[in-house]
């Protein structure tokens, strides 16, 4: 019995680490992973017309750190180095500042819509003043964005007629370097750029009428495309006009639909460089020109004070207004 007991003790010692005076083996440590950070990206829009806003500041604040970015065109941002609970604050000139908390545990997306503050300045043409009338009717007349050559002149907008040496844009700014009395907007674009119907309606073509062009000091020919809106589509009948086309793909009397290609841009007529001259006429006595970007000036619109003048209304559908950038 004595020998059996000693054998059992020996077996127990073999099963216990360090038994019998052996060295203790430390457990292998688990590798620690490097702290991971993530990226937050998204967009900033005008809450009213849904236009993407460039130049907005997006600031992300966490425990003991803060990163920020400015939205580029077309209103997008991206910030890196984020982890855990953060607060995202968005601010833009002319808009109310907005904030919201986020928990960043992976790459994430956050889009923001900011409210326009009545009376606060925004870049001209970015958004209608919320105190003015908006009729969301027009789609973009071309794809993408192009630099602007000339604005609509609210101080007598009848090109080469009764010009007075003053130029006032849709925000009431007195500016220089514009064609005095310009009756629409000139977007500089390569010849051959597709021109898109801004609305449903009936096409009317004015092909190669001869007229005198003061800047060129000679008679010129031109090609105009006009879309006449359907009766009842708006409180007023609107005529949407495209000038200087190099090619026309529709005929007078043809029904056209929003987004349809009407033709190609060019440098025809009274033009010194390839561009689209885009203008709107309102269906009232004399069909005077009107500004689809409305009027956001502090003082009364000078164009409405003239006998043949008419009020201007923001006519762009949400997110469709081309940028007014030179």
Chain mean pLDDT for the chain: 80
Q: Is the pLDDT higher at 139 or at 11?
A: 139
Q: What is the band of 253 on the pLDDT scale with cuts at 50, 70, 90?
A: very high
Closest-CA residue to 81 (of 64, 57, 97, 98): 64
β-bridge mates for residue 256, sequence order = 201
Report the run of H or E that residue 43 belongs to, with start and end: strand 38-46
| Mean predicted confidence (pLDDT) in 252-274 | 91
Model pLDDT for residues 216-249, shown as the tens digit of each residue: 777 677 778 989 886 555 556 678 889 889 899 9
DSSP state of 2: H
Residue pLDDT, tens place only, 277-308: 999 987 654 678 889 999 888 788 888 888 77
280 vs 290: CA distance, rounded Å: 6
The mean pLDDT of 51-70, rounded to a whole number, is 86
Local structure of 77: helix, strand or coil: strand
**Alpha helices, H only, 67-173:** none
- According to DSSP, the residues that pair with 292 across neighbouring strands are none
Q: Count of residues for the chain?
A: 326
246: closest CA among 282, 220, 275, 226? 275
Residues 315-320: what's their mean pLDDT? 87
> Residue 127: helix, strand or coil by DSSP?
coil
The DSSP letter of residue 294 is -
pLDDT classification of 54: cutoffs 50, 70, 90: confident
Does residue 66 contact residue 44 with C-beta atoms inside 8 Å?
A: no
* pLDDT at residue 27 tops 70: no
Report d(CA 106, CA 109) in Å as an integer: 10
Is the Cα dihedral 155, 161, 164, 166 positive or negative?
positive
Q: How far is CA 296 from CA 120, 183, 292, 308, 318, in A?
A: 10, 17, 12, 20, 18
Which CATH homologous superfamily contains domain 38-114?
Immunoglobulins (2.60.40.10)
CATH class, 134-316 region: mainly beta
Identical fold between 38-114 and 134-316: no
- Every domain of the chain and the residues it spans: 38-114, 134-316
């Amino acid at each position: 019995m004595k020998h059996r007991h000693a054998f059992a003790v020996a077996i127990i010692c073999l099963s216990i680490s360090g038994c019998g005076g052996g060295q203790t083996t430390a457990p292998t440590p688990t590798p620690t992973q490097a702290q991971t950070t993530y990226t937050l990206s998204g967009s900033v829009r005008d809450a009213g017309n849904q236009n993407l806003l460039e130049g907005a500041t997006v600031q992300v604040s966490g425990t003991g750190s803060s990163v920020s970015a400015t939205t580029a065109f077309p209103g997008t941002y991206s910030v890196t180095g984020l982890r855990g609970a953060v607060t995202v604050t968005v601010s833009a000139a002319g808009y109310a500042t907005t904030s919201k908390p986020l928990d960043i545990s992976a790459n994430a997306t956050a889009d923001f819509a900011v409210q326009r503050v009545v009376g606060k300045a925004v870049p001209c043409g970015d958004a209608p003043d919320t105190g003015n009338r908006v009729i969301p009717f027009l789609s973009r007349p071309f794809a993408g964005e192009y630099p602007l050559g000339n604005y609509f002149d609210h101080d007598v907008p009848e090109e080469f007629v009764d010009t007075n040496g003053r130029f006032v844009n849709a925000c009431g700014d007195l500016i220089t370097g514009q064609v005095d009395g310009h009756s629409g907007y000139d977007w500089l674009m390569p010849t051959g750029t597709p021109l898109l119907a801004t609305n449903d309606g009936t096409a009317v073509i004015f092909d190669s009428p001869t007229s005198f062009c003061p800047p060129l000091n000679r008679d010129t020919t031109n090609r105009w495309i006009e879309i006449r809106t359907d009766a009842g589509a708006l409180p007023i009948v609107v005529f949407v006009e495209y000038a200087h086309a190099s090619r026309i793909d529709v005929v007078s009397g043809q029904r056209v639909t929003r987004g349809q290609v009407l033709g190609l841009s060019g440098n025809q007529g009274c033009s010194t460089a390839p561009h689209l001259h885009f203008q709107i006429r309102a269906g009232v006595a004399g069909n005077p020109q009107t500004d689809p970007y409305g009027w956001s000036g502090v003082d009364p619109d000078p164009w409405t004070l003239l006998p043949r003048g008419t009020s201007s209304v923001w006519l762009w559908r949400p997110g469709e207004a081309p940028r007014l950038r030179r």
